[in-house]
Amino acid sequence: MPNESILSAEDVRLYYRTRRGTVKAVDRVSFKLKRGETLAIVGESGSGKSSLSRAIIRLLPRNVYAYDGKIFLNGTDIMKLSKEEFRKQVRWRKISMVFQGALNSLNPVIKVGDQIAEPLILHMRMDKNEASKKARNSLKQVGIDETFADRYPFELSGGMRQRVVIAMALITNPDIVILDEPTSALDVITQANIMNMLKILKKEKSLTYIIITHDIALASELADRVATMYAGQIVEIASAEEFYSNPKHPYTQKLMKSVPTLRGDKELESIPGSPPNLINPPNGCRFHPRCEYAMEICSRKEPPFFGDEDHPVKCWLYR
Amino acid sequence: MIKMILLEVKDLKKYFPIKKGIFGGKTYYVRAVDEISFDLDKGEAVSLVGESGSGKTTLGKTILRLYRPTGGKLIFDGKDITNLAPKKLKWYRRETGLVQQDPFGAMPPHFTIYRILEEPLIVNKIGDKEERREIVHKILEEVQLPPEEFTFKYPHMLSGGQLQRIAIARAIILEPKLVIADEPVSMLDASVRVDVLNIFRRIQEKYKMSTVYITHDLSTTRYFSEKIFIMYAGHVVERASTQEILNHPSHPYTQALFEAIPNPDPKNRFKLREVPPGEPPSLINPPKGCRFRPRCPIATEKCEREPPEVEISPNHFVKCWYPQ
Ligand SMILES: Nc1ncnc2c1ncn2[C@@H]1O[C@H](COP(=O)(O)OP(=O)(O)OP(=O)(O)O)[C@@H](O)[C@H]1O
Ligand SMILES: Nc1ncnc2c1ncn2[C@@H]1O[C@H](COP(=O)(O)OP(=O)(O)OP(=O)(O)O)[C@@H](O)[C@H]1O
Ligand code: SF4
Ligand SMILES: [Mg+2]
Ligand SMILES: [Mg+2]
């Protein structure tokens, strides 16, 4: 069944409780992901991208106010699993994640090989020797000589540390890997090398990726489909071909125009107005205060998705 | 207008000792900053661009005297600060600011954002409670974070890009003369990034702050800096005005950097990128001669000798035997 959904989210919410009110970081998000496909999630800082991935892999902070919706993994609703079942059956084994900024949070006093082996010992209850053998092997897979297993993180370049955290996410043999800003801390050459590696690994291990990035150009290195997130919601999803040639949501269009080019004197367009407050998001369409096409209905009523199934857009213009 | 030099960096070196083997092992050195020289004028902004691990953060921290230089000289406002003891550096801390590279690790976790920003004001006895409140609110507005939503939050409640803006606010709240901004916007999307850089630039010009903007994003340098330094494996391999570097990149490494910048094209996913193979060299045992030699497409035998820094056009310096 090549076209089955490996993962599908329906109306997922993740709200946080704070002193000033409820932060609606993920607000009724739905999407489908086919096996072997890569979905990129783009959107501005604070729009809820990392929160959405935390919701999928169920690693939540303490101040959760609401966490619900349905998430089907191979047809089973994993939101119904208990904490223990989720940990045993899903997290790391089926879905794993490379966290934003992870390359800087490697433990400085533990050897790289031991850190890679840790998830196996911790989550898979593997014995130490076997885990350590596997760790060396997985270093090779991410293009690092296995002798580096005995080194400490500071002896590795930023690019190598990023490869190490990717190795940690792959070692449990998951089907789905969430990559949260996997290269935003790296220079463009190292970035390109890592993207090449991710492309090769994807093929070899038939992985399904969700890549979160604020960099639209970088997203095109992996994405089969792209989703735009704005103020806690997905507002557009399309195939990469459609997304880059025919972006529909006014926010996505602005995002495209703000990509800087090296030469040329293009004045960069930034998006007017300030990012929405997620405690009190604007009524109606959340983008309406900043949208140049806003109509009367936009401030009054939240738009549903319009357009065909392959390219839904949450905007009244496409009514 | 006469240019006034704020900071002179002369043959600056920072080596980190590391021991191999637990008992009496030999000591090796990571030569993270190796004989770097340049001047920074008052109010000038330069970009420092380079490969991960090339020594950018180390250079920044050594300039700020968070590290003690292994060699060379640092002159700030005419005063030699190269070897001043930490106790004698208090005034220097007040005149300098650092935006740390990793905002997730850089913030005290148990402080609210308000406290984090107020702290340097309290330490330096600036304003009374009410005035400090005003300063904190104003700076939050400047970095586009609504004070009413953010002052009470703790660092772990902020997204990556929000934390970066707090880090910028904290570094400039005392209006220092020199700011090192280490990848200050790497987690922001393009639209917000340009906004924040513009704000930063405005404040930088208003207070005539000299700034070193460390980044791997060449495309934003022209919105921020007058000059670009390109760093590779502990050396500055090319430096010139921003326009000049963008129009005539001359070092083979700089050229490779330009070619590696991705452009948004859905066809990208079907092919592998062509980039210089391999990793940057070990700084414990850097290659003899030009450090880019093992990855350089045009290297010859001559490159096994260290290339000189040549001025290929006025104020455009390239450390290469064959500048392009
Ligand atoms: N534990 C928390 N408590 C309260 N608010 C939170 C918490 N974690 C995140 N937030 C808020 O939720 C919103 C979404 O944060 P999230 O980290 O998901 O954004 P993001 O899209 O990943 O942004 P970035 O690109 O900057 O990393 C932000 O406004 C953030 O301040
Ligand atoms: N405290 C330390 N002890 C030993 N080696 C160190 C230390 N700090 C940095 N290094 C090494 O010095 C070299 C330069 O590191 P630095 O962090 O300055 O690079 P960078 O250019 O800032 O890289 P990135 O772009 O990844 O931030 C690296 O090889 C690093 O591993
Ligand atoms: S030779 Fe020149 S071109 Fe080649 S590596 Fe060295 S410096 Fe670079
Ligand atoms: Mg994030
Ligand atoms: Mg650095």
pLDDT, tens only, B147-188: 988 999 999 888 878 888 899 999 999 999 999 999 898 878
Greatest mean pLDDT range, A62-71, B53-62, B137-146, B269-278? A62-71
**Least Cα separation, residue A47 to chain B (angstroms):** 9
This prediction has a pTM of 0.88
Contact B293, B304 (CB under 8 A): yes
Distance between CA B324 and CA B306 in Å, rounded?
A: 17
CB-CB neighbors (< 8 A) of A263 in chain B: 246-247
Residue B128 CB neighbour total at 10 angstroms: 7
Q: Measure CB to CB from residue B279 to each of A45, A160, A269 and give the nearest one.
A: A160
Residue nearest to atom 26 of ligand 2 (CA): B52
Least confident of A105-114, A300-309, B18-27, B266-275: B18-27
Residue B315 tokens read as: 């104020």
Alpha-carbon Rg for chain A, nearest whole angstrom, is: 20
Tell me whether residues B192 and A44 touch, CB distance under 8 A. yes
Distance from chain centroid for Cα B308: 24
What ipTM was reported for this prediction? 0.87
Strand pairing partners for B239? B229, B317
Q: Is the CB of A63 under 6 A from ligand 1?
A: yes
**Cβ neighbours for A136, distance < 8 A, ≥ 6 positions apart:** A113, A146, A149
Nearest residue on chain A to B247, judged by CA atoms?
A263
Residue numbers of B between 99 and 158 with CB closer than 8 Å to A: 101-105, 144, 146, 148-149, 152-153, 156-157
To the nearest 10°, report the CA torsion of B293, B298, B302, B306.
Answer: -40
Task: Give the confidence band of A1 by pLDDT, cuts at 50, 70, 90.
Answer: very low
Separation of A89 CA from ligand 4 center, angstroms? 26
Crossing angle of helices B190-206 and B160-172, rounded to 10°: 0
B262 contacts in chain A (CB < 8 Å): 188, 191-192, 195, 215, 217-218, 220-221
Q: Does A8 touch chain B (CB under 8 A)?
A: no
Confidence of residue B200 (pLDDT cuts 50, 70, 90): confident
Model confidence at B279, in pLDDT bands (50, 70, 90)?
A: confident
Q: Which percentage of chain B shows pLDDT scores above 70? A: 97
* Residue B22 scores a pLDDT above 80: no
Average pLDDT taken over every residue of chain A:
91
- pLDDT at position A3: 54
- Mean pLDDT in residue range A232-240: 97
Q: Do B52 and A190 touch (CB under 8 A)?
A: yes
pLDDT averaged over every residue in chain B: 90
pLDDT (0 to 100) of residue B322 = 95
**pLDDT above 80 for A76:** yes
What number does CATH give the domain B5-225? 3.40.50.300
Q: Whose CA is nearest to atom 9 of ligand 1?
A: B157
The confidence score (pLDDT) of residue A134 equals 92
Query: Percent of chain A, pLDDT > 70?
Result: 97
Q: Is B263 helix (H, G, I), strand (E, B) or coil?
A: coil
Contact criterion met (CB < 8 Å) for A258 and B194: yes
| Contact list, A186 vs chain B (CB under 8 Å) | 52, 216
> pLDDT of A188-210, one tens digit each?
898 899 999 999 999 999 999 99
Residues of B within 8 A of A43 (CB-CB) are 189
Is the CB of B275 less than 8 angstroms away from the CB of A274? no
Give the residue with greater pLDDT, B24 vs A256.
A256
Please enumerate in sequence order all residues whose Cβ is within 8 A of that of B186, keeping only pairs 6 or more positions apart, or say none: A184, A185, B164, B215, B216, B217
